[in-house]
Amino acid sequence: MSYKSILVHLDTSARAHPRLEMALQLAHRFHARLTGLFSTYVPPRHAFAVMAGTAEYYAEHARQRHEKAAALERLFHAELTRAKVDGQWIAADGYANDVVPPYARLADLIVLGQSDPTDPESLRRRTVRRAHRAVGGTARAAGTVRGHVARTGQAHTDRVGRQP
């Protein structure tokens, strides 16, 4: 089986770098175009609208988010060059639950993280379920590598060639 397009969700979690590395290896192996989709938690403004000091909190959170996104984008492009893989970077505004599913429909293979209750920046279970529904509910796990699952809309073999 061959993949022409791979989508990797990137965020500020501790597992973003290993997820990127796995996506790069797969893109290199299949000569696929890799899309890095950055989306991370954005605190809901309405939840704290009446609390004093929230304007500063939101401004600081936005500044940190933009700094982390810029650093991850530089890493993404450097790794594309190193791995000799064609790709693009998309920095989406919004929570991953809303942002990932529309892009998931356009990729042959999707690399997502898993929920991690010890990492507040990790992907939420709901995002994985919504991405699964976005590809018509036919996604099957390709295999778990260091706690990361690759999903696609077609049955396929995992990284070491075993059927799921």
Residue indicated by tokens 């609208």: 49
Quick check: 65 pLDDT over 90?
no
The 10s digit of each residue's pLDDT in 104-139 is: 888 999 998 765 556 555 555 444 455 555 455 544
96 vs 162, higher pLDDT? 96
The 10s digit of each residue's pLDDT in 6-51 is: 999 998 887 889 899 999 999 999 999 999 999 887 766 666 666 7
> What is d(CA 107, CA 109) in angstroms, rounded to the nearest whole number?
5
Is residue 27 within 8 A of residue 85, CB to CB? The reply is yes
Average pLDDT, the chain: 75
128 vs 162, higher pLDDT? 128
Q: Which fold has domain 5-152?
A: Rossmann fold (3.40.50)
> What is d(CA 103, CA 61) in angstroms, rounded to the nearest whole number?
25
Is residue 53 within 8 A of residue 43, CB to CB? The reply is no
Q: What is the 3-state secondary structure (H, E, C) of the chain?
A: CCCCEEEEEECCCCCHHHHHHHHHHHHHHHCCEEEEEECCCCCCHHHHCCCCCHHHHHHHHHHHHHHHHHHHHHHHHHHHHHHCCCEEEEECCCCHHHHHHHHHCCCCEEEECCCCCCCCCCCCHHHHHHHHHHCCCCCEEEEEECCEEEEECCCCCCCCCCCC
Is residue 100 within 8 A of residue 35, CB to CB? The reply is no
> What is d(CA 33, CA 124) in angstroms, rounded to the nearest whole number?
26
Q: What is the pLDDT of residue 149?
A: 43
Q: What is the pLDDT of residue 99?
A: 86
Indicate the domain borders of the chain. 5-152
